[in-house]
Every structure is written in C-alpha cells, then in structure tokens.
C-alpha cells in the first residue's frame, strides 16, 4: 500500500444543513411523524438565519461601516444671531434733505461746473466736425449730380464718407460714456461723504435711523423739521472737503 493509501479522511462531526439532512433522507426507513418533525426543525433554522441576516442588514444601514460607531441623528438647526458690537440707538428717526446737499455741497458744485464746461467743450468740437463733414457730403452730391466723378471715384468717396461718419459717431459715444462715468464717480464720492458725515453727526443724537428726503422722489411724505439734521451734515461734508483741498 502506498503512502497516500495510508491517509484516512475522518468524517466531520459538524452539522451541515444539506438537502439530505433537511429532508431527513426521504428514502430512509424513518416514520412519517419523525420526517415531518425534521422538516419543521429545518425550516425553523432557515427562518432564524434569515431573521439574523435582516437584523444585520438593518444595523449596517444605520451604522457606517468603517466609521466605528453608529451615525448620530442630525441635531435640529437653530438660529445663531450675528454679534453686533455697537451701542443701540434710542429708536428715533432723523433725515437729510438731498436737494440741499446737491445745491450747497461745495464738492458737488465744483464737479458740476467742471462737467458742464467739459460737455460744452466737447459739443463745440463735435459741431465743428459735423459741419466739416456736412460740407464734404454736399460737395460729393454736387460732383455726383454734375457727372464729373467716375464710378470708381464715387465708390471710394462713399466709402471714405461712411468711415469718417462712423468714426465721428464712435468718438462722440466715447466722450459721452467718459462723462457719464465721471458723473457716477462724483455721485459715489458724494454719497460716501454723506454717510461719513451723518455718522459723525449721529454721535450727538444716537438715532437709530437716518433717512434721505428729495422733493421729486419723496421717500418721506411728511417730515418733522425738528428731526432735520441737513445743515449739520452739510457742514461736516464741506468741512472735510475744505480740509482735503488745503
């Protein structure tokens, strides 16, 4: 007998739920009652295994694998107010008359005069260019009607006149855009000065609100003159501007 023939495989003692075990060997000579009992036990074991599997899946669903612990339910979201490091006002309301600011603020008066002078200068320059262009166009029409121009000359003159007109129009739009940008910058500077001056004046009043008023665009339909701080604000604005000009 060879070396391999001497090795014996011992039968395992573990219970394996095979079809033969579950059905308790239908061909065996066991009584029918015992066979039925064996099948019931086998079905009960399978049900227990399935129940355990469901429980495990349920736990894995609510417990993150690799996280080390079950997920905690999210806490309800709560409002966290922003901390304001400022003393509260007394609840009163003051206002500033913007019409007076635009009329009496030195910076606005100076810039307004500068913008008007630049606009007049540009309008005069473009009027001269328009007049010169108009003369060229009229001369072209006369030459065209008299028949002194060749077909090539007509085409070239039309192209030149069209290019000159478009350039003049583009130059005019560029100037208008620059003047508009300057006006926007002036208004922003005025508002910045207004905000700063109002804040300085309010140190005396400790008001909660300062509104603006304009006659043509009334945010306020009624104003209490005792709450008008325009003169003080205007004084602060002009004072700061004068100091900058020194």
81 domain residue, yes or no: no
3 domain residue, yes or no: no
Residue 233 has pLDDT above 90, yes or no: yes
Q: Which region among 50-54, 68-72, 228-232 has the lowest average model confidence (pLDDT)?
A: 68-72
Q: What's the maximum distance between 2 C-alpha atoms anywhere in the chain?
A: 135
Report the pLDDT value the prediction gives residue 41, as an integer from 0 to 100. Answer: 60
Report the pLDDT value the prediction gives residue 32, as an integer from 0 to 100. Answer: 52
Where is pLDDT greater, at 18 or 43?
Answer: 43
Vertex 228, ends 227 and 230: CA angle to 5°?
Answer: 150
Average the pLDDT over 198-216 and give the result: 91
Report the pLDDT value the prediction gives residue 70, as an integer from 0 to 100. Answer: 52
Q: Are residues 39 and 140 in the same domain?
A: no
Report the pLDDT value the prediction gives residue 87, as an integer from 0 to 100. Answer: 77
Q: Are residues 103 and 176 in the same domain?
A: yes
177 neighbors 116 (Cβ within 8 angstroms)? no
Q: Are residues 46 and 104 in the same domain?
A: no
Q: Tens digit of pLDDT for each residue in 20-45? A: 444 444 444 455 555 455 555 666 67
206 domain residue, yes or no: yes
Report the pLDDT value the prediction gives residue 10, as an integer from 0 to 100. Answer: 45
231 vs 30: CA distance, rounded Å: 115
Q: Which region among 9-18, 180-189, 216-225 has the lowest average model confidence (pLDDT)?
A: 9-18
Where is pLDDT greater, at 199 or 10?
Answer: 199
The domain in which residue 214 lies consists of: 93-245
DSSP letter for 26, please. Answer: T
Q: Tens digit of pLDDT for each residue in 117-139? A: 999 999 999 999 999 999 999 99
79 domain residue, yes or no: no
Q: Are residues 139 and 42 in the same domain?
A: no
Q: Are residues 157 and 41 in the same domain?
A: no
Number of domains in the chain: 2
Alpha helices in the chain (DSSP H): 19-22, 32-62, 98-104, 106-146, 151-205, 230-245
């Amino acid at each position: 007998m060879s070396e391999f023939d001497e090795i014996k495989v011992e039968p395992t003692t573990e219970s394996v739920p095979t079809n033969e075990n579950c059905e308790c060997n239908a061909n065996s000579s066991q009584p029918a009652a015992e066979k039925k009992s064996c099948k019931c036990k086998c079905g009960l074991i399978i049900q227990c295994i399935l129940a355990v599997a469901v429980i495990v899946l349920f736990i894995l669903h609510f417990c993150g694998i690799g996280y080390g612990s079950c997920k905690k339910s999210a806490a309800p979201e709560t409002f966290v107010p922003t901390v304001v490091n400022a003393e509260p006002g007394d609840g009163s309301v003051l206002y500033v008359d913007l019409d007076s600011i635009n009329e009496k603020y030195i910076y606005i008066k100076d810039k307004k005069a500068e913008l008007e002078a630049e606009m007049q200068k540009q309008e005069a320059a473009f009027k001269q260019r328009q007049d010169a262009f108009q003369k060229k166009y009229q001369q072209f029409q006369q030459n065209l009607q008299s028949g002194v121009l060749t077909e090539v000359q007509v085409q070239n003159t039309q192209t030149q006149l069209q290019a000159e007109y478009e350039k003049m129009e583009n130059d005019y739009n560029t100037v208008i855009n620059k003047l508009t940008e300057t006006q926007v910058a002036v208004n922003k500077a005025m508002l910045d000065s207004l905000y700063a001056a109002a804040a300085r004046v309010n140190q005396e009043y400790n008001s909660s609100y300062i509104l603006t008023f304009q006659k043509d665009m009334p945010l306020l339909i009624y104003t209490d003159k005792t709450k008008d701080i325009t003169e003080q604000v205007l004084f602060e604005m002009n004072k700061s501007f004068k100091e900058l000009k020194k």
